[in-house]
Amino acid sequence: MAVNRVTWLGPYVADGLRAVIGVDAVASLEDFAYRVQDRVNRVWRRGEKPRAHWSVPKAKIEQVAAPAAAPVHEPEPREEIPAFTLKDVGPVHKGWSAPGDGQWIPMADVDHPGQPIHMAKTLLHPDKNRSWAEVFVVAVDLRRTRLYLVPGTKEPAATEEAAQGIERPGSIAKEHREHALAAFNGGFKTEHGQYGMGLDGVTYVKPKLGVCAIARYKDDTIRLALWDKLAADEGNMVFWRETPVCMYEDDKLHFRLADESLAKKWGATLDGETVIRRSAVGIDRTGSVLFVAISNHTTARVIANGVHHAGATTVAQLDVNFSYPKFVTFEKKKHPKDGDEPKRIALALADGFEFSEDEYIREPARRDFFYLMPKSADLRTALDNVKPRP
């Protein structure tokens, strides 16, 4: 109960135990504890109905995704990129859902009104045996949004000499903090599977074959696929981050998830059938929509099915366990300690997920994470930083 309620205690206890009894022993202990917790939930929460976490407006995303109209005295601006539109996917199980399941809700940037919609969110309940199993999914318009990867101050622990001396602030770049849209957790610790990572031409952890990876290229495209299919073009990547084996690839569920008896050690630590908090990332067939998901009380297959139902054709799992999966947006708020000066703070996607107001934006993160920037703001930042020639 303590490690699930005290922010720092879970990682502290787990890491301390791993140093004493080993990674596999701690994984077995966590598996046991989560199985007990799940059995208790299935007794005490039996008959509980799926619940919504936010109100669902009647307006469709197609009706509100366009930018605000220009003043009357100015000509209406021409939008080169069509508005971000998504078709509602509906609930995974029609008779087992909460109001608004599968309906996309636009996520406006309140600090920059009038800007086009970059993201939308929905909630799904994909597990018919657990009404409290929730998958929160955010869809990101990659036509307007740029994805960044930030190494944590400690993880992934570098295995390559070239990365040993690189400074790792573990937070969003200062010049991006005013416009950053959102941030979410990255992958596993190095000791949990040796999943590779590279950034700006430097390899932090060498890649391994047979696993999934997300990569951003110099032409701004994003790919999510088996590393074996991406490796040949590594020289054109801005970053790449490996994950466990792709859960879905090209609309096909991995055979190990299709068979419960084979869903072991999904992510090199906990069993795929362990009911825990998980996170995942996916991409649609066109490569223009990125899906990010965080979940409560799900198996690997349940979160995979949820992200696939939302529209992703390829899905990969990111970090797991109580403390690490999170998705936050940023908004300016006044803080009593800071007088009347507002500052941008992190806000959780849904209640119950651990976060701090300075999460990712000022507070250094020990583990790697991703963040999202509007491409239009990125361009303005780049122009502002250009020094005039003497």
To the nearest whole percent, how much of the chain has pLDDT over 90? 60
Residue 206 lies in a domain: yes
Q: What sign does the dihedral 102-80-384-169 (CA atoms) show?
A: positive
Residue 9 lies in a domain: no
**pLDDT (mean) for 135-161:** 97
Answer whether 301's CB lies under 8 Å from 272's CB.
yes
The tally of domains found in the chain comes to: 1
Q: Residue 23 domain-assigned?
A: no
Q: What is the longest distance spanned by two Cα atoms in the chain? A: 74
Mean pLDDT check: name the lowest of 78-87, 237-246, 280-289, 316-325: 78-87
Which whole-number Å values give the CA distances from 97 to 7, 81, 126, 244, 277, in the listed order?
30, 34, 8, 29, 19
Q: What is the pLDDT of residue 23?
A: 58
Q: Does the pLDDT at position 34 exceed 60?
A: yes
Predicted confidence (pLDDT) at residue 30 exceeds the cutoff of 90: no
Q: Strands 278-283, 252-253: parallel, antiparallel or unpaired by DSSP?
A: unpaired
Q: How many CB atoms lie within 10 A of CB 173?
A: 13
Examine residue 39 and state whether it is found in any structural domain, yes or no: no
Residue 327 covered by a domain:
yes
Smallest Cα–Cα separation from 219: which of 238, 232, 205?
Answer: 238
Q: CA nearest 241: which of 285, 276, 211? A: 211
Of the candidates 306, 322, 389, 386, the one whose C-alpha atom is nearest the C-alpha of residue 355 is 322
Q: Given pLDDT bands bounded at 50, 70 and 90, which one contains residue 341?
A: confident
Q: Which of 108-112, 191-195, 259-263, 280-284 has the lowest mean pLDDT?
A: 259-263
Query: Is residue 233 helix, strand or coil?
Result: helix
Q: What is the mean pLDDT of residues 174-201?
A: 96
Domain limits at 193?
A: 47-384
Give which of 220, 201, 204, 72 is closest to 143, Cα–Cα: 220
Per-residue pLDDT tens over the stretch 236-266:
999 999 999 999 999 999 998 888 666 555 5
pLDDT at res. 56: 77
Dump pLDDT digits (tens) for 85-116. 999 999 999 888 899 999 999 999 999 888 89
List strand residue ranges (DSSP E) for 87-191, in order. 105-107, 119-124, 134-141, 145-150, 182-185
The one-letter code for the residue type at 105 is I
Q: Over range 153-168, report the average pLDDT.
A: 95
> Is pLDDT at 353 greater than 90 in this prediction?
no
State yes or no: pLDDT of 119 exceeds 70.
yes
Q: 329 lies in a domain? A: yes
Query: CB–CB of 224/283 below 8 Å?
Result: yes
Give the chain's end-to-end CA distance (angstroms, integer).
63
Tokens of 96: 């087992």
Tokens representing 292? 């990010």
User: What's this model's pTM, rounded to 2 decimal places?
Assistant: 0.84
Inside any domain, residue 25:
no
On whether residue 5 sits in a domain, the answer given is: no
